[in-house]
């Protein structure tokens, strides 16, 4: 099983949107793709057309000590998904404490599932979720926005990655993608340029542009590839997933 962790140093960078759409694009390229939401916001399922009132998710499966099978849904877009689940504050604290004590929790649960290309969406910044995910991820995709604040976190992300993934033999590498890019803003272009020069091949071949179609797609509970296939964002996502596919296939 190939595990791709999608992380971001800060919130609000559109990480969930990027992971869902990349998953759909990879599925369209013939992969069996699963996406796991490890973000307590539990927002990922909305992108894939899940019923709003459904509270099921991996948190409940874990607390009830049953298999994730019961939380895995099929979407209309070729991707299966496991939501985080809607939980109370008490449940969340219990769950996170459990994770802190069970370092192999994620590994064991995934091992029980069918072998698929698995994308895992995480909450922003360091957390128990990120720890679990990074320690088993084969490939890490860092989603950034082209502003100075994101760029300033580059060093801490790199050391985080080095700590969890650095010496693992099953780790393919970490890659970066810029989201919410606006070619009209000089600062965005400059950040893109410095990221390119410091990351080289590790930066995705194109940034994902800021595009209203993305927000509209969410309102329609569809991936943007489905909702507005000719939009700039969809085009960018296609390119990034081609590139990601090559990275996966290389290993």
Q: Report the distance separating Cα 246 and Cα 251, nearest Å.
A: 9
* Shorter beta-carbon distance to another protein: residue 127 or 192: 192
- The binder of another protein chosen from 92, 235, 242, 243 (CB under 8 A): 235
Residue 224: CA count within 13 A, CB half-sphere: 26
- The binder of another protein chosen from 51, 183, 201, 251 (CB under 8 A): 183
- The binder of another protein chosen from 232, 243, 245, 248 (CB under 8 A): 232
Q: Report the distance separating Cα 85 and Cα 112, nearest Å.
A: 19
- The binder of another protein chosen from 209, 221, 237, 247 (CB under 8 A): 209
Closest approach of another protein to the CB of residue 26, in Å: 20
Q: Report the distance separating Cα 106 and Cα 112, nearest Å.
A: 10
**Under a CB-based contact definition with an 8 Å cutoff, are residues 85 and 42 in contact?**
yes
* Shorter beta-carbon distance to another protein: residue 3 or 234: 234
* Shorter beta-carbon distance to another protein: residue 74 or 190: 190
**Contact range with another protein by CB under 8 A, out of 48-56, 124-132, 171-179, 203-211:** 203-211
Closest approach of another protein to the CB of residue 184, in Å: 4
Q: How many residues bind another protein (CB under 8 A)?
A: 21
Our finding on whether 212 is near another protein (CB under 8 A) is yes
Q: Report the distance separating Cα 215 and Cα 149, nearest Å.
A: 23
Residues 6+ apart with CB under 8 A from 80: 33, 34, 35, 72, 73, 74, 116
- The binder of another protein chosen from 112, 230, 249, 250 (CB under 8 A): 230
Measured CA distances, 87 to 50, 119, 132, 209 (Å): 16, 22, 20, 33
Of 142, 146, 147, 179, nearest to 162 (Cα)?
Answer: 142
* Shorter beta-carbon distance to another protein: residue 164 or 227: 227
Q: Which residues pair with 4 in a beta bridge?
A: 119, 139
- The binder of another protein chosen from 127, 131, 135, 196 (CB under 8 A): 196
| Site for another protein, rule CB under 8 A | 183-184, 189, 192, 196, 205-206, 209-213, 216, 228-235
């Amino acid at each position: 099983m190939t595990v791709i962790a999608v992380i971001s140093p800060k919130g609000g960078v559109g990480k969930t949107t990027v992971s869902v759409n990349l998953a759909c694009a990879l599925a369209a390229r013939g992969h069996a793709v699963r996406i796991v939401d490890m973000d307590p916001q539990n927002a990922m399922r909305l992108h894939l057309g899940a019923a709003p009132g459904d509270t099921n998710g991996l948190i409940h499966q874990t607390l009830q000590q049953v298999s994730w099978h019961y939380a895995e849904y099929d979407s209309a877009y070729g991707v299966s998904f496991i939501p985080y689940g809607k939980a109370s504050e008490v449940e969340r604290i219990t769950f996170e404490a459990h994770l802190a004590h069970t370092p192999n929790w994620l590994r064991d649960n995934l091992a029980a599932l069918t072998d698929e290309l698995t994308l895992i969406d995480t909450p922003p910044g360091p957390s128990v979720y990120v720890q679990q995910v990074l320690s088993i991820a084969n490939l890490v995709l860092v989603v950034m926005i082209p502003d100075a604040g994101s760029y300033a976190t580059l060093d801490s992300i790199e050391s985080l990655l080095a700590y969890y993934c650095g010496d693992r033999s099953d780790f393919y590498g970490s890659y970066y993608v810029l989201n919410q890019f606006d070619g009209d803003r000089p600062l965005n272009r400059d950040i893109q340029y410095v990221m390119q020069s410091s990351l080289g091949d590790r930066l995705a071949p194109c940034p994902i542009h800021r595009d209203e179609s993305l927000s509209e797609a969410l309102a329609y509970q569809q991936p943007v590839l489905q909702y507005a296939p000719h939009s700039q964002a969809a085009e960018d996502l296609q390119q990034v997933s081609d590139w990601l596919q090559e990275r996966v296939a290389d290993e």
